[in-house]
Structure 1
Amino acid sequence: MTNVNKYYLIEDESKLELPEYIDRPEYVRNKSMGYSLQIVGWFIFMWLFMPVITMFFWWVEGKTIYQQMVIQAAPNSQLSLMNIIAMIAIFICVLLLWATYNWARFHGEDRRRAPLAIDEKQLASSFKVNTVDILNMQLAKNLTLYYDEQGKLEFFEVNHQLKKRISA
C-alpha cells in the first residue's frame, strides 16, 4: 500500500485566477464607503421588492382563506363566514358599549389627588426614628437605608459619613 498525500500544494498562483485586490490592500481604500453603499443597496432592495413579495403572499393566502372559508365551509357550520362576521360584530359592539360606559362614568372627573402633606414628626413615627434623623435624611443627597429581616430600619448612611445607629 502506498502513502498517498491528500493535500496538494499549488506552486503556480496564476492558475488560481484570484483577483488582484485580494492580496493588495491598497486597492481597498475606503471600506466605510463600501459598507455604506451596501446598506443603501439593501434599503433600495427592501423599498422596491418587499411590497411586491408582500402582495404575492397576501394573494396566495387570500386564495387559501377564500377556499377554506367560502367554498369548502358549510353554510350552517360553527365556523362559517357569516358566523365569524357576526362574532366580530358582537365583540366590536361590546367593546364600544364598555368604552361608552367608561367615558360616561369618568368623563370630566379627575379622581387623582395629590397626597396630603405630612410633617417630620409623622414621617419619623412611620419609620420609627427620631425627627433629627428624618431631617438629616431629607437634607442628604446620597442616602443608603439598611433594614432588618422584619423590614424595620436599622441604620442609614449619609454620603461618606459613618453609619449612625437608630435607637428604637
Structure 2
Amino acid sequence: MDDNADTHSALKLPNIIYRPDLQSRRQRGLFALLAGVGWLIWLYLFLPLSTLLGWAFGSERFQAYVIDGHEHSWSSLMIYAVTVVLAGAALLIWAFYNYRRFRNADRRRPPSPLTTERLATSFGVDEAQVARLQQGRVATLYHDAEGHIIDIEMRSTPHRENGER
C-alpha cells in the first residue's frame, strides 16, 4: 500500500454544501442576529478612525453651526434626524419588498454546458474549426478590423523567437 496516497486522501477536505433551506426559521434568524452583531463589532473598530477624520475635517463646525448657532436650533437637528430615519425606512421597505418578491426564486443557476455548436456560433466559425481548435495544441487566430476571426493557423509546436529551443 502506498503511504503517500493514504496521506493525500486523508488531507482532502470535503466540499462545502450551503443549503439555508434546510435550516429552520429560528436558526436563520439566529444566524442573521449573530451576523448583525458581528458587523456592529467590526464597525465599532473603525470609530477611532472616524473620530480622527471628523477632527481632521472640522467636525466642530457641526457643533458651531447646527447646535450652538443662534439661527439654528434643535428643531433643525430634529429635521435632519427625521430625514435620516425616513431614508432608512425607505431602504428597509425596499429591501423587504425585494425579499418578498424574490424569496422563492433561485436566479443563481449555473450556466448550461457550452456545446461546440454554441461556441462556434459565439466566435462566428463553423463547428469543424472549433473541434480542430479544441484538439490542437497551439493556434494563431487572425482577426479583421471588427474583431471577427478570419483565419486560423494550427501548429504542432509553439513558435520560438530569437533562436530559443
Which category of TM-score, normalised to the shorter sequence, fits these structures? Answer: 0.3 to 0.5
TM-score by length of structure 2 reads 0.48
- Bigger Rg, which one: 1
